[in-house]
């Protein structure tokens, strides 16, 4: 479910990050330059959204095994990596470099935690996870392409650009997920069906 929700969310923020920031914040002292800087940071933070959300779940698995040391160790390693990458990438991408460093550190963290957890308890359904990731990524890319077209070719008004693009994106992603038969989509339908009943 983290894959199913975070990947389209990340793609949506990558595509619509700047228009969303313009709608929410660009007024008064928050200039167009501030929008550019903020959207740059949001773009790179979005790349690590899936990894960051996954870390929280895998860390909980270690806690359930009464193991608090392993998550602390991996977090410490990734914090040092983050600092090194901050210094390097900030010179190239400025504030965006700080966000990219955090995203990379999050991916390294989830990779380390996943490998270590697999050693502790055995198979974690890696093939199913990869299968879900690929299908969700395909659905997300389809959504992203259509969202970009709607947002940047059909509308000039920033409010219409954001609101209609978001609505279209949700519809397209749900349709693509249904066509690709992503299992998590079925879980979402069942959840809403239970609420209705």
Mean pLDDT (whole number) for 143-147:
95
User: Tell me: the pLDDT tens digits for 157-177?
Assistant: 889 889 999 999 999 999 999
User: Tell me: the pLDDT tens digits for 42-74?
Assistant: 999 999 999 999 999 999 999 999 999 999 999
pLDDT at residue 41, rounded to an integer: 94
Residue 109 has, within 13 A of its CA and on its CB side, a CA count of 31
pLDDT at residue 123, rounded to an integer: 80
Whether pTM > 0.75 for this model: the answer is yes
The secondary structure of 23-53 as a DSSP string is HHH-STT--HHHHHHHHHHHHHHHHTHHHHH
Spatial distance between the Cα atoms of 133 and 126, rounded to a whole number of angstroms? 10
pLDDT at residue 196, rounded to an integer: 59
Res 194 pLDDT > 80: no
Spatial distance between the Cα atoms of 49 and 9, rounded to a whole number of angstroms? 8
């Amino acid at each position: 479910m983290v894959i199913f929700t975070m990947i389209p969310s990340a793609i949506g923020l990558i595509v619509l990050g700047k228009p969303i920031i313009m709608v929410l914040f660009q007024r008064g002292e928050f200039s167009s330059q501030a929008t550019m800087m903020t959207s740059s940071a949001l773009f790179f933070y979005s790349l690590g959204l899936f990894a960051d959300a996954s870390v929280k779940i895998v860390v909980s698995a270690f806690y359930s095994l009464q193991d608090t040391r392993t998550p602390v160790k991996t977090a410490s390693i990734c914090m040092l990596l983050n600092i090194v990458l901050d210094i390097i990438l900030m010179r190239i991408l400025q504030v965006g470099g700080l966000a990219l460093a955090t995203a990379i550190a999050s991916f390294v963290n989830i990779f380390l935690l996943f490998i270590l957890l697999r050693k502790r308890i055995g198979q974690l359904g890696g093939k199913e996870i990869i299968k879900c990731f690929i299908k969700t990524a395909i659905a997300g890319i389809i959504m992203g392409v259509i969202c970009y077209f709607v947002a940047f070719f059909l509308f000039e008004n920033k409010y219409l650009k954001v609101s209609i693009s978001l609505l279209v994106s949700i519809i397209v992603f749900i349709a693509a997920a249904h066509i690709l038969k992503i299992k998590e989509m079925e879980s979402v339908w069942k959840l809403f069906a239970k609420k209705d009943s």
